[in-house]
Structure 1
């Protein structure tokens, strides 16, 4: 591989924003890719994948390069040199790469890789938490799986098209996919591609959604004509899946505390042809109170640590703190208490997270069922999904029935 100056500089510029200014990797990479219209698909892939890879292995690479945050531009080039050397890529004779100690880089890699916090490139506190919650063997496998590159997976919008029809339509745009019996609405890309530029996307034929995430909406046992409330809807990935499962019949109320996310949901719902979706901004407690005892189904896709989706969001390893994880558990308990009141008697509720920590998952449900509000509910079933077992994101979902 020959390294091109403008592409390498683009990677370094993006790393500066992610590492030093704590910007979100996905957003900054997306902005970087818009900088030069002359870049082709190969150039864009190099920038995106190289940046993500260096972010994923930040602790390992910066330790080998012997640099510490905040990183100067010179130090970021050293980190890039570590990445290139370990990939077997010859460094060009640029001033930024003068006197790069290639042999020393490989030697330090071999030494540091013997210790898990460097080998898997994670903070010490996160490693200790993973072992505490999952056990040594399970955590070892899970964090290794979370460091693999995530597949690009589509959820077919069955309001507009069938799975075979979309598969064929994408092939006409030179995008090839495979199906999976376990995920009936999913198409898995055989090779990464910018699917957002396709005519199929513009026509609303699909959304990008991980296979594990696609299991959440069906867990609610939806039937057309129901009143469904998605309490933490965000930009609407699962809301739109609920709309497809309900066949555009009944009513789906999408709630969120962020008005901007709901505006994005409206835009996506219009493209998807989801006509039974109504958004409501939670700007006071009145919004929730008005919905008490009114819904046939309630989805609580709770805010969480995100430790099930590290392969998709590798920068979150460096943004997360122990304090945040503890505080988010309190938020989850409060949300369960408040939003469960929306469900009517005999209705079903799903509590879901994209975390693999038992303390955010079934232990949270066990705790809820002992509360005054929780005693009105009966536990039906749950499902824990690990990346190490499926190859997809880590997720958890519990199904509860209101019996009082």
Structure 2
């Protein structure tokens, strides 16, 4: 393993942006990789992989480096150096202390001290699995023994999964484009295709032509769960950039109508661009800028999707920096928002219509418990039909919850 100073410096800069300037990891990495056109594929891979893995294992790396709070540039150089030792096979198998180059920035990073401290950190779950105390506590409280299994699984990098767009192409066509040897279909998710090799799909002509979207297999289960049929009226009331809206359009074969709503205008603009690329013609967007909009749509739709804002604890594989930015007070606040959305938006469903409540959280307090409270309160008007939860540990999908309810 040979380290190049320019690449390590770029890694240090990215980590400072994430942890000191509090910027999103994916945007930081994207910007860093664009900053030097001379970097080749291996250089870019080194930076991206090291940044994301250090972010993922941040608490363990800090513990091993004996740094409580990283602030200065030298702290981040030390952390990157310690990470090189941690991930090296030499750490467990050899006493070779020459893994790091003799750079001034790595002075004082002692191999034996790192080795001992690392083994010590592995004895405590919240350090070994790199999670804040409060998340570890609430996970164990709500999920008991299952929490540790999910936590371990959430620390494995997520696979790259595509959703084949049936409005424009077929599974076989997309597999042929990528090659059958690097693609794998997913049981239970008929449009999902795993890429076993990392590919920059956004630059491909097939992506620009709308043949597929990037979407986890667990996420792809939500739109079919709404039990839509061609010709129906459907509202996706927390649409965001619209991955599930686009999937609904494909399931409905561009028939009927989809109203995609959100409180953030820029996300709806992105959805409109994606809809054009995907060949979607039965979708329109609407900005939610007042409660009056919801009231005017009372009893107007056959199907309603509420993919509500949540902690995102089910998708930590993809967004490892979010666990360091989440706060306990945010979780308390978001549970109240979820309950309000379920209570207020559900009026849009026609009698006899159906609704799906969904989250990308593994916590029951954001998911099953919200639905249970709603059904108890509205048992005269709503009937619980079914629920499904994906498990990162069991399924290999991101952690999603979905519940199907019917208005009487």
State if a TM-score over 0.5 links the two structures.
yes
Where in structure 1 are there 5+ consecutive unaligned residues?
A: none
The 5 A counterparts of 1:60-139 are 60-88=60-88, 90-135=99-144, 137-139=145-147
Please report how far the alpha carbon of residue 23 of structure 1 lies from its aligned counterpart in structure 2 after TM superposition.
Answer: 0.8
CA-to-partner distance for each residue in 1:349-400, whole Å, 9 max, x for gaps? 000000011111111101011225x641100000111111111200100000
Contact 1:296/1:348 (<8 A) preserved: yes
The 5 A counterparts of 1:299-314 are 299-314=305-320
Q: Which residue in 2 is equivalent to 1:357?
A: 363
Q: Tell me, in whole angstroms, the C-alpha distance in 2 between the residues paired with 1:292 and 1:24.
A: 37
Q: Which residue in 1 is equivalent to 2:95?
A: none
**Total equivalences in the alignment:** 399
Where in structure 2 are there 5+ consecutive unaligned residues?
A: 91-98
Please report how far the alpha carbon of residue 236 of structure 1 lies from its aligned counterpart in structure 2 after TM superposition.
Answer: 0.6
Q: Which residue in 1 is equivalent to 2:278?
A: 272
**Candidates 394, 401, 405, aligned match of 1:400:** 405
What SS does the corresponding residue of 1:148 show, helix, strand or coil? Answer: coil
Q: Which residue in 2 is equivalent to 1:6?
A: 6
CA-to-partner distance for each residue in 1:283-311, whole Å, 9 max, x for gaps? 11122122110001000001111111111
Contact 1:20/1:69 (<8 A) preserved: no
Q: Which residue in 2 is equivalent to 1:157?
A: 165
TM-score (norm 2): 0.95
Q: Which residue in 2 is equivalent to 1:57?
A: 57
Q: Tell me, in whole angstroms, the C-alpha distance in 2 between the residues paired with 1:277 and 1:7.
A: 45
Runs of 4+ in 1 over 2 A off after TM superposition: none
TM-score (norm 1): 0.96
CA-to-partner distance for each residue in 1:3-34, whole Å, 9 max, x for gaps? 12221111111100111111111111111111
Q: Which residue in 1 is equivalent to 2:232?
A: 226
Q: Tell me, in whole angstroms, the C-alpha distance in 1 between the residues paired with 2:266 and 2:157.
A: 29
Please report how far the alpha carbon of residue 45 of structure 1 lies from its aligned counterpart in structure 2 after TM superposition.
Answer: 1.5
What SS does the corresponding residue of 1:93 show, helix, strand or coil? Answer: coil
Q: Which residue in 2 is equivalent to 1:48?
A: 48
Please report how far the alpha carbon of residue 98 of structure 1 lies from its aligned counterpart in structure 2 after TM superposition.
Answer: 2.0
Please report how far the alpha carbon of residue 68 of structure 1 lies from its aligned counterpart in structure 2 after TM superposition.
Answer: 2.9
What SS does the corresponding residue of 1:244 show, helix, strand or coil? Answer: helix
Select between 65-74 and 261-270 the one with higher mean Cα deviation: 65-74
What SS does the corresponding residue of 2:284 show, helix, strand or coil? Answer: strand
Q: Tell me, in whole angstroms, the C-alpha distance in 1 between the residues paired with 2:40 and 2:306.
A: 41
Q: Which residue in 1 is equivalent to 2:206?
A: 200
1:386 pairs with 2:391: yes
1:335 pairs with 2:344: no
Contact 2:162/2:212 (<8 A) preserved: yes
Please report how far the alpha carbon of residue 198 of structure 1 lies from its aligned counterpart in structure 2 after TM superposition.
Answer: 1.3
Q: Which residue in 1 is equivalent to 2:176?
A: 168
Q: Tell me, in whole angstroms, the C-alpha distance in 1 between the residues paired with 2:306 and 2:184.
A: 30
Contact 2:388/2:402 (<8 A) preserved: yes
